[in-house]
Amino acid sequence: MSASDPTVRPPAAPRERTRAHVYCRPPEPVVFPASEEAPETNRHLELRTALYLILKRELAQGATLGSNQFVYWDPTTSRKRLAPDAFVRLGVPHRTFRTWKTWLHGAPDLGVEIVSESDEGEPDWDEKLARYRASGIREVVRFDPDDRARPIRIWDALDGDLVERSADDPDLRACEALGLWWTVVEDPSIGPMLRLSRDREGGDLLPTPDEAEAQAREAEARTREAEAQAREAEAQAREAEAQAREAEAQAREAEAQAREAEAQAREAEAQAREAEAQAREAEAQAREAEAQAREAEAQAREANKTLEAEVAALRAQLAEAKGKRRPRRRSPG
């Protein structure tokens, strides 16, 4: 029966005794065994252990988990018990324990049974389901790895009863207790395996410890690779920055050289203009000297003409003078 069944009442708190009575015999305490010998196939062990470790890794911060430990729900007898292959009690961080007593810790929120060949000595399913109903567990999952058509069956606590979900329920595999989804994954070594997923399609599986370790190694490798790439990018950035500074220095040097070349060009242009002016001045002076030379030549020709005229005049005068002084011829006497 579920915890909400009004016929299930918690035991009354013991009243403090006010008298010392005489009894016929000492009390016999109820012993609640923590375990008993039971056969288990290695496949069942691996399926059970894998599911327990998956649940523990995901839920241990906020839930207590058990596997194959006795769950007692009647403080008066040790015969009323269950040993789910996995069970979860929400709201209490995980801790170790030998047995689970519902009158002390509350009924588990989820119980899981994995069908195995070793179940032959166990109570039949109807009897086991009646025990689950009496324990108050509110969601029961039965996984049969050999049932390919319907490997997962689920019962919910409703109005004091455990009622199985219909096979055509669209949310058949919803794990209401945990807010997850049940799914079956084919494992290469053990075959069909009961798993939990964060999505309906089973694409976002809760990892097994080995998968989580592999994912952690892969994430660590990605982190190291990203760090190496970051360091390489940082080195490249530093190199690029150094190259940029060098290029900037070269640009400044080239700019200074360009300014110097421009100044030299302006100076050369000024010198060229000055040389051109000096050439023009020299040309003018040459022309002036040429003009002066022509003028001097003309004056020389004029002076020469004058001189020639004067020489001719003097010659004429000389000739005339010579003519006048010629002696008379004397006759023989």
Q: How confident is the model at residue 12 (pLDDT cuts 50, 70, 90)?
A: very low
**Average pLDDT of span 82-90:** 96
The pLDDT assigned to 3 comes to: 37
Summary mean pLDDT of the chain: 87
**Average pLDDT of span 46-63:** 96
C-alpha Rg value of the chain to the nearest Å: 63
pLDDT at residue 18 greater than cutoff 50: yes
3-state secondary structure of 58: helix
**Average pLDDT of span 255-269:** 91
Please list, in sequence order, all residues whose beta carbon lies within 8 angstroms of the beta carbon of residue 59, skipping any fewer than 6 positions away: 65, 88, 90, 94, 178
pLDDT at residue 211 greater than cutoff 70: yes
The pLDDT assigned to 324 comes to: 80
Q: How confident is the model at residue 11 (pLDDT cuts 50, 70, 90)?
A: very low
Give the DSSP H or E segment for 144.
none
Q: Are 106 and 100 in contact (CB under 8 A)?
A: no
CA distance 210 to 47: 14
Q: What is the three-state SS of 162-230?
A: EEECCCCCCCCCEECCCCEEEEEEEECCCEEEEEEECCCCCCCECCCHHHHHHHHHHHHHHHHHHHHHH
Place of tokens 């000024």: 270
Note the pLDDT tens digit of each residue in 140-198: 999 999 999 999 999 999 999 999 999 999 999 999 999 999 999 999 999 999 999 99
The pLDDT assigned to 268 comes to: 87
pLDDT at residue 28 greater than cutoff 70: no
pLDDT at residue 39 greater than cutoff 80: no
At 94, list the tokens: 């995980």
Q: How confident is the model at residue 214 (pLDDT cuts 50, 70, 90)?
A: very high
3-state secondary structure of 143: strand
The pLDDT assigned to 246 comes to: 92
CA distance 145 to 131: 23
pLDDT at residue 123 greater than cutoff 80: no
Q: What share of the chain is helix, strand, coil (3-state, %, to 5)?
A: 45, 15, 40
Q: How confident is the model at residue 301 (pLDDT cuts 50, 70, 90)?
A: confident
